[in-house]
């Protein structure tokens, strides 16, 4: 972000124009060229019309002197004028009703696809960074219309420049000072508009915290997850009135400079009209004395008008361009977000996907900008071993898993897989080893079948899919759904059915089972699942994973006790290691936690 701040606004504008035009070119070359050509035709069309009108008027006056004989030239010019109008009308319809829509549609597709490509490959660290999240939110808010509008504004500015230059050059033979004076006359308006743009931009910047808060409040007032509590705690009124206050605040700060701009506008308009009037008046004698024709005079007047109006349009377009510029910049900033976890281009690939050995060697890690939450952790997991991690909330259990997936790199120490450093591995190869259920697992509003089969898209096996559902204890509730395995889930779609929290978790577990990976990592897999179902699930896990690796994180000691090795984490450090029996014998932290939980049942 810093580097873009160093470049001037104009520099940034030019960079963004180049980038957007490149994207537009990529999106649809034909439509891009046609839009460009149409816009440029639009730039010179008013001048051609004026010129034809000049010729027409002169012929008309000439015909008057010939006692009213309508010559072929006069007729021809008359016809030409209307033929050109018809063409222009058709062009307008074609351009705005068809071409621009096609162009916008194609452009939007490309922009959205590029963004989706980038976002889906982004490092986890970016997703967990509030600043980046903010940036992404800003991009999402308006890239689909701001970027196409930005491109359109660019074309319009170019067209205005085209009209302006043509009118200027045409007026030169009348004396260079005439178009120059006209240009000077439009400067006050240009200046005022630029000043207003700057003020409104700074007002906009001032209001960013308020706008952020506004969009957050309106967000939580709409989302089912938050509105439930807001209603029960009766916080609705308070939040709505806070929104109103914020809106009023923003409105007041926008209104003032706008009113000032409007009230100051009459000065430049008066200057412009005065100069225009004087220049026209100055030419009058030459017309009356017959030095120039009435047609030429009309043409002269309309060229002066063109200079004024093209400048007016240009300032309007430029200020819009300026407004979109920052957002357009955000879009490309997201696309340019760097890879934080740099994967080796020709990383190591294991030939055989079999239960691996895993080793953490003196690993320390802190989230970006934060303190270490994993401190000098070392442990080893042998192929086929069942490994459990326990510890209080915030001890660092989930973080260890994130490191194992290389969502982040450790600050110190190494993680070895089959003796190879994780940094040396090709990640898509490593991920083939692992099936997982995250603590904050995903709920896909897809069908049951798709939810499970996402676990392994390389294989399509309905039999296995149903087995996975059975092992996860999901088959029972699936059988009761109207469309069984083809049932769409979630409330996002009309035909979707909502599941209970535990049912969702079973489904996510089935997804992990479906992959049949040699290493299964479960982070609180049964936190929402009832005790009977949990026992059945762990029976299955013990069977299916007998010769495979299992890494289990759980607060429920009943499911942890059969692990070959248990580590106890506290504040990011391993404080105990051993089997259940070892640790019970030691009678320290693990034993105390175990007994506390057990006493709750036995009391």
The contact set with Mg ion (CB under 5 A) reads: 397-398, 439
Indicate which of ligand ATP, Mg ion, none lies near residue 367 (CB less than 5 to 8 Å, by partner kind).
Answer: ligand ATP
Beta bridge partners of 447: 488
Q: At its nearest, how many Å lie between ligand ATP and the CB of residue 598?
A: 19
Indicate which of ligand ATP, Mg ion, none lies near residue 450 (CB less than 5 to 8 Å, by partner kind).
Answer: none
Does 398 bind ligand ATP (CB under 6 A)? Our answer is yes
Structure token pair of residue 477: 């509730």
Indicate which of ligand ATP, Mg ion, none lies near residue 15 (CB less than 5 to 8 Å, by partner kind).
Answer: none
Determine the interface stretch with ligand ATP among 334-342, 365-373, 455-463, 534-542 (rule: CB under 6 A): 365-373
Indicate which of ligand ATP, Mg ion, none lies near residue 393 (CB less than 5 to 8 Å, by partner kind).
Answer: ligand ATP
Burial 368-400 (b: 16+ CB within 10 A, else e): eeeebbbbebebebeebbbbbbbbeeebbbbbb
Q: Which is nearer to ligand ATP, 371 or 482 (CB)?
A: 371
Beta bridge partners of 390: 568
Q: Which is nearer to ligand ATP, 13 or 395 (CB)?
A: 395
Q: Which is nearer to ligand ATP, 220 or 373 (CB)?
A: 373
Does 287 bind ligand ATP (CB under 6 A)? Our answer is no
Does 597 bind ligand ATP (CB under 6 A)? Our answer is no
Give the whole-angstrom CA distance, residue 162 versus residue 180: 16
Widest CA span of the chain, in angstroms? 125
Determine the interface stretch with ligand ATP among 321-329, 338-346, 394-402, 474-482 (rule: CB under 6 A): 394-402
- The set of residues, in sequence order, having a beta carbon less than 8 Å from that of 267 and lying 6+ positions away, is 188, 192
Q: At its nearest, how many Å lie between ligand ATP and the CB of residue 522?
A: 13
3-class DSSP assignment, residue 372: strand
* Interface of this chain with ligand ATP, residues 426 to 455, rule: CB under 6 A: 439
Give the whole-angstrom CA distance, residue 158 versus residue 149: 14
* Ramachandran quadrant class, 436 (left: phi over 0; alpha: psi -120 to 50; beta: rest): beta
Does 391 bind ligand ATP (CB under 6 A)? Our answer is yes
- Residue in 397, 464, 466, 471 binding ligand ATP, rule: CB under 6 A: 397
Helix intervals (H) in 290-357: 294-335
Q: At its nearest, how many Å lie between ligand ATP and the CB of residue 570?
A: 10
Q: At its nearest, how many Å lie between Mg ion and the CB of residue 241?
A: 37
Contact 250, 211 (CB under 8 A): yes
Give the whole-angstrom CA distance, residue 73 versus residue 55: 10
- The set of residues, in sequence order, having a beta carbon less than 8 Å from that of 432 and lying 6+ positions away, is 353, 517
Determine the interface stretch with ligand ATP among 307-315, 366-374, 414-422, 429-437 (rule: CB under 6 A): 366-374
Determine the interface stretch with ligand ATP among 151-159, 183-191, 390-398, 514-522 (rule: CB under 6 A): 390-398
Q: At its nearest, how many Å lie between Mg ion and the CB of residue 40?
A: 60
- Residue in 5, 393, 457, 581 binding ligand ATP, rule: CB under 6 A: 393
Structure token pair of residue 267: 């000065």
In this structure, the dihedral spanned by the alpha carbons of residues 278, 283, 285 and 286, taken in order and rounded to 10 degrees, is 170
Give the whole-angstrom CA distance, residue 101 versus residue 34: 12
Does 600 bind ligand ATP (CB under 6 A)? Our answer is no
- Residue in 275, 395, 425, 522 binding ligand ATP, rule: CB under 6 A: 395
- Residue in 152, 399, 487, 554 binding ligand ATP, rule: CB under 6 A: 399
Q: Which helix (H) or strand (E) holds 236?
A: helix 236-264
Give one DSSP letter per residue of 515-552, joined into a string: HT-SEEEEESTTTTS-HHHHHHHHHHHHHHTTTSEEEE
Q: Which is nearer to Mg ion, 300 or 441 (CB)?
A: 441
Contact 402, 522 (CB under 8 A): no
Determine the interface stretch with ligand ATP among 31-39, 389-397, 479-487, 594-602 (rule: CB under 6 A): 389-397
Q: Which is nearer to ligand ATP, 445 or 527 (CB)?
A: 527
Indicate which of ligand ATP, Mg ion, none lies near residue 128 (CB less than 5 to 8 Å, by partner kind).
Answer: ligand ATP
Each residue 119-158 as x (binds ligand ATP by CB under 6 A) or -, in order, gives: ---------x------------------------------
Q: At its nearest, how many Å lie between Mg ion and the CB of residue 523?
A: 6
Q: Which is nearer to ligand ATP, 112 or 439 (CB)?
A: 439
* Interface of this chain with ligand ATP, residues 367 to 386, rule: CB under 6 A: 367, 370, 373
| Total length of the chain | 603
In this structure, the dihedral spanned by the alpha carbons of residues 481, 487, 489 and 491, taken in order and rounded to 10 degrees, is -80
Q: Which is nearer to ligand ATP, 152 or 436 (CB)?
A: 436
Give the whole-angstrom CA distance, residue 444 versus residue 491: 11
Q: At its nearest, how many Å lie between Mg ion and the CB of residue 438?
A: 9
Q: How far is CA 85 from CA 70, 78, 156, in A?
A: 22, 11, 20
Burial 563-575 (b: 16+ CB within 10 A, else e): bebbbbbeebbbe
Indicate which of Mg ion, ligand ATP, none lies near residue 449 (CB less than 5 to 8 Å, by partner kind).
Answer: none
Q: At its nearest, how many Å lie between ligand ATP and the CB of residue 375?
A: 11
Q: At its nearest, how many Å lie between ligand ATP and the CB of residue 398?
A: 3
- The set of residues, in sequence order, having a beta carbon less than 8 Å from that of 464 and lying 6+ positions away, is 514, 516
Q: At its nearest, how many Å lie between ligand ATP and the CB of residue 571?
A: 8
Q: At what angle do helices 501-515 and 531-544 cross, to 10 degrees?
A: 0
**Residue 376 C-beta-side C-alpha neighbours within 13 Å:** 1
Indicate which of ligand ATP, Mg ion, none lies near residue 202 (CB less than 5 to 8 Å, by partner kind).
Answer: none
How far apart are the two ends of the chain, measured CA to CA in Å?
59
Q: Which is nearer to Mg ion, 189 or 375 (CB)?
A: 375
3-class DSSP assignment, residue 390: strand
Q: At its nearest, how many Å lie between Mg ion and the CB of residue 138?
A: 30
Q: At its nearest, how many Å lie between ligand ATP and the CB of residue 476?
A: 28
Give the whole-angstrom CA distance, residue 150 versus residue 148: 5
* Interface of this chain with ligand ATP, residues 243 to 272, rule: CB under 6 A: none
- Residue in 394, 428, 498, 587 binding ligand ATP, rule: CB under 6 A: 394
- The set of residues, in sequence order, having a beta carbon less than 8 Å from that of 221 and lying 6+ positions away, is 227, 230, 236, 239, 240, 243
Q: Which is nearer to ligand ATP, 295 or 396 (CB)?
A: 396
Give the residues lining the site for ligand ATP (CB under 6 A).
Answer: 128, 367, 370, 373, 391, 393-399, 439
């Amino acid at each position: 972000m810093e580097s873009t701040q160093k470049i001037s606004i104009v520099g940034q504008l030019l960079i963004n124009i180049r980038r957007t035009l490149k994207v537009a070119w990529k999106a649809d070359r034909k439509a891009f060229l046609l839009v460009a050509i149409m816009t440029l035709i639009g730039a010179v069309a008013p001048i051609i019309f004026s010129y034809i009108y000049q010729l027409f008027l002169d012929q008309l006056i000439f015909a008057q002197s010939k006692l009213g004989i309508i010559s072929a030239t006069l007729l021809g010019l008359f016809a030409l004028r209307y033929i050109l109008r018809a063409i222009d009308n058709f062009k307008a319809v074609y351009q705005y009703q068809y071409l621009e829509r096609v162009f916008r549609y194609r452009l939007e597709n490309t922009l959205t696809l590029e963004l989706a490509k980038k976002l889906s490959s982004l490092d986890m660290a970016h997703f967990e960074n509030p600043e980046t999240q903010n940036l992404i939110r800003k991009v999402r808010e308006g890239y689909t219309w701001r970027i196409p509008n930005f491109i359109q504004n660019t074309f319009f500015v170019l067209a205005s420049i085209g009209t302006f230059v043509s009118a200027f050059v045409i007026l030169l033979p009348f004396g260079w000072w005439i178009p120059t004076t006209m240009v000077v006359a439009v400067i006050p308006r240009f200046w005022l508009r630029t000043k207003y743009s700057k003020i409104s931009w700074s007002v906009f910047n001032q209001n960013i915290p308020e706008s952020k808060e506004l969009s957050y409040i309106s967000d939580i007032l709409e989302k089912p997850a938050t509105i439930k509590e807001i209603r029960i705690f009766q916080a609705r009124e308070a939040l709505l009135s806070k929104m109103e206050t914020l809106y009023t605040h923003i409105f007041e700060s926008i209104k003032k400079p706008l009113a000032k701009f409007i009230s100051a506008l009459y000065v430049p308009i008066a200057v412009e009209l005065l100069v225009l009037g004087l220049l026209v008046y100055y030419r009058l004698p030459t017309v009356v004395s017959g030095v120039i024709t009435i047609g030429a005079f009309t043409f002269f007047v309309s060229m002066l008008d063109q200079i004024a109006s093209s400048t007016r349009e240009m300032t309007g377009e430029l200020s819009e361009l300026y407004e979109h510029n920052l957002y357009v910049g955000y879009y490309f900033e997201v696309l340019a977000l760097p890879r934080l976890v740099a994967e080796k281009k020709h990383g190591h690939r294991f030939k055989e996907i079999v239960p691996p050995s895993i080793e953490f060697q003196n690993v320390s890690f802190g989230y970006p900008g934060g303190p270490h939450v994993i401190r000098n952790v070392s442990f080893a997991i042998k192929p086929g071993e069942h490994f459990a991690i326990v510890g209080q909330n915030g001890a660092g259990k989930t973080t260890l898993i994130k490191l194992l997936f290389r969502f982040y790199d450790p600050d110190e120490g190494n993680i070895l897989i089959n003796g190879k450093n994780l940094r040396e591995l090709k990640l898509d190869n490593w991920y083939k080893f692992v099936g997982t259920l995250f603590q904050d697992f995903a709920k896909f509003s897809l069908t049951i079948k798709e939810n499970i089969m996402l676990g392994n898209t390389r294989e399509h096996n309905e039999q296995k899919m149903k087995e996975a559902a059975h092992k996860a204890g999901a088959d029972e509730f699936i059988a009761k759904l109207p469309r069984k395995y083809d049932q769409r889930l979630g409330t996002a779609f009309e035909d979707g059915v909502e599941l209970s929290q535990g049912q969702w978790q079973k489904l996510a577990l089935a997804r992990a089972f479906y992959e049949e990976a040699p290493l299964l990592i479960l982070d609180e897999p049964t936190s929402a699942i009832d005790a009977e179902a949990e026992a059945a699930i762990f029976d299955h896990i013990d069977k299916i994973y007998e010769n495979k690796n299992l890494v289990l994180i759980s607060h429920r000691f009943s499911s942890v006790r059969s692990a070959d090795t248990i580590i106890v984490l506290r504040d990011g450090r391993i404080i105990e290691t051993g089997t259940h029996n070892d640790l019970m014998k030691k009678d320290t932290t693990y034993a105390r936690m175990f007994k506390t939980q057990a006493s709750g049942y036995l009391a």
